[in-house]
Amino acid sequence: MSDTAESTANEASKDFIRQIIEEDLASGKHDKIITRFPPEPNGYLHIGHAKSICLNFGIAQEYDGQCHLRFDDTNPTKEDTEYVDSIQEDVRWLGFDWGDNLFYASDYFEQLYSWAVALIEAGLAYVDEQSADEIRKNRGNLQEPGVNSPHRDRPAEESLQLFADMRAGKYADGEKVLRAKIDMAHPNMNFRDPVLYRIAHAHHHRTGDQWCIYPMYDFAHGQSDAIEHITHSLCTLEFEMHRPLYEWFTENIEVPATPRQIEFARLNLTYTVMSKRKLLQLVEENHVSGWDDPRMPTISGMRRRGYPAEAIRDFCHHIGITKYKSTHDVGLLENAVRHVLNRDALRYMAVIDPIKVVVTNYPEDQVEEMDAVKNPENPELGNRKVPFCRELYIERDDFMEDAPKKFFRLKPGGEVRFRCAYWLKCEEVIKDADGNVTELHCTYDPETRGGENPPDGRKVKGTIHWVSARHALDAEVRVYDRLFKEENPDGAEGDFLDHINPDSSRTVQAKLEPALADTAPGETVQFERLGYFCADLDSTPEKLIFNRTVPLRDSWGKKNK
């Protein structure tokens, strides 16, 4: 490929936002790119926010610019320092850093108030005394124009005094609001005299009781961008109809800069909900254990489940940035997780539904240490030692008494390879009084140590994992699956809560190989043949707890046909 053709191909591969940025740099409109990630501290971040984080911080890195972390803390009734702390932790965990560029909309409350006063003085804002219901009713709809407030034409001096009295705390919540004076017949509903300030006698997590009036998001957001000299204000498509209002404010207020708002499609995933209100409902009604429940689409939930930050970044890069609304298969995210963990996760053996095997011809007091590879994708990591003795545990479903012809695991009279150990043959099945299988008696072939083929040339097709009963660690293993059984719980019949998957979480008592005793909380490993599992944050050497991150392969579609 020629240099010109390669350059053209690279340009074509860039998303539309990066194309705009490169045009602005090439034209000299900007010599430095400044973006921002502006979360509201009223909940935990989810995978949709991760897309915005990767976009805003990623662009700043690519173009040697900077990205600000700014909390849009304009609603004290729903905000808390718990959310501020969790958001910072999530952004850092994803691999990004804002440096010295941590800001809050509350940093600008005095300046925003001054600009609101300037709008009143210019005849572009007024204090309204209608109730919220009256304002909503009088806005009209897409077919009918709105109705002017009876207070719309009050003198500027009167509105200035009323606004000052609002700030001084002379009125109750909802008694008065400040509105922009634009056009009550405008086809864009956002232009129909939007509310700029409302009264809220609520304690703010940063400013305390200093203020009792708070700017609305639409008024605070664009001006905050301007104060910080943001060059490109990137937001999701639901703000597209708000962009003209964003620009109206920056045009009618003497702001220090004029950022450009650009919208992109938000991230939607199958088998989950992304509404912050619905996620809060799941938490408050105890459908999940908290914001960091491993079944939640929150970043903290995915971290607790064992998703690597790299996998989330890779997924966000893979799905790209477009203007088109779409829903992505959660299987794509799970595959990104498998891709990273297959390369990085250490291998161990664990049995989550144990049945005992007694090797009757193996010496009772003998213990051998078998060599097992730590990760076949990273041979330089070397091997680990796994103890083997007379009594073992295997998975219950690795044995079948009345096995079909193509069942290649353990069965009466059948022989199977025990991973990195020996070949074992099932000689006897022990049952309890109810006919349940409780124990298997097997014999081993000493010529097959390490799983090698025996000298006589016979072959087996099955290999199963196992754990030494004498050395096994007890552990609580939480097997997580998708939280909803419907692909689109928001669009399915009934309430979204009706579609919670009753099998999304189950807890089993497992047996682990002893090397797992040192697994640090938050570390993800592979349980061979079972999947990837993460040591829970509450896991201790005295009580091991593992959460299933993902199975080795996606069996959801097959299981739910």
Over residues 355-367, the pLDDT tens digits come to 999 999 999 999 9
Q: Is the pLDDT of residue 67 over 70?
A: yes
Q: In which band, very low, low, confident or very high, does the pLDDT at 557 lie, cut at 50, 70 and 90?
A: low
At 218, list the tokens. 């639409």
Q: What is the mean pLDDT of residues 115-129?
A: 98
Active-site residue, 266 included: yes
In a 13 Å sphere around the CA of 530, the CA atoms on its Cβ side amount to 32
Query: In whole numbers, what is the pLDDT of the chain averaged over residues?
Result: 94
- 3-class DSSP assignment, residue 303: helix
Query: In the predicted model, what is the mean pLDDT of residues 10-37?
Result: 91
How far is the CA of 259 from the CAs of 131, 264, 266, in angstroms?
34, 16, 21
Catalytic annotation on 152?
A: no
Query: Could you tell me the pLDDT band of residue 5, with boundaries at 50, 70 and 90?
Result: very low
Catalytic status, residue 40: yes
**What class has domain 354-465?**
mainly beta
DSSP codes, 487-503: S-TTTSSS-GGGGB-TT
Query: What average pLDDT does this structure show over 431-456?
Result: 94
Where in the chain are the domains? 18-264, 269-346+475-559, 354-465
pLDDT of residue 385: 96
pLDDT at 554: 75
**CATH class of segment(s) 18-264:** alpha beta
Q: Among the options 14, 18, 22, 40, which is catalytic?
A: 40
Kindly give, in sequence order, each residue whose CB lies less than 8 Å from that of residue 416, ignoring residues fewer than 6 positions away: 398, 408, 409, 410, 423, 424, 460, 462, 463, 464
Say which CATH topology domain 269-346+475-559 has.
Answer: Ribosomal Protein L25; Chain P (2.40.240)
Active-site residue among 70, 192, 276, 511? 276
pLDDT greater than 60 at residue 463: yes
Structure confidence at residue 209 as a pLDDT band (50, 70, 90): very high
Mean pLDDT of the 515-543 span: 96
DSSP letter, residue 195: E
- The candidate with the shortest Cα–Cα distance to 386, out of 341, 418, 345, is 418
Catalytic residue among 14, 154, 167, 266: 266
**194 pLDDT exceeds 90?**
yes
Q: How confident is the model at residue 559 (pLDDT cuts 50, 70, 90)?
A: low
CA angle 331/333/335 to nearest 5° reads: 70
- For CA atoms 314, 317, 320, 325, the dihedral sign is positive
2-6, 73-77, 419-423: which range is least confident on average?
A: 2-6
Average pLDDT of the segment spanning 60-70: 97
- Of all residues in the chain, the percent with pLDDT exceeding 70 is 96
For 538, other C-beta atoms within 10 Å of its C-beta total 10
Say what percent of the chain tops pLDDT 90: 93
Alpha helix segments (H runs only) across 267-324: 276-284, 299-305, 309-319
CATH topology agreement for domains 18-264 and 354-465: no
Question: CA–CA separation, 82 vs 87, rounded Å?
Answer: 9
User: What pLDDT is stored for residue 192 in this prediction?
Assistant: 98
Contact 466, 349 (CB under 8 A): yes
Residues 6+ apart with CB under 8 A from 153: 126
Candidate from 313-322, 376-385, 547-556 with smallest mean pLDDT: 547-556
Query: If you average pLDDT over residues 248-256, what whole number do you get?
Result: 95
Phi, psi of 435 (to 5 degrees): 85, 10
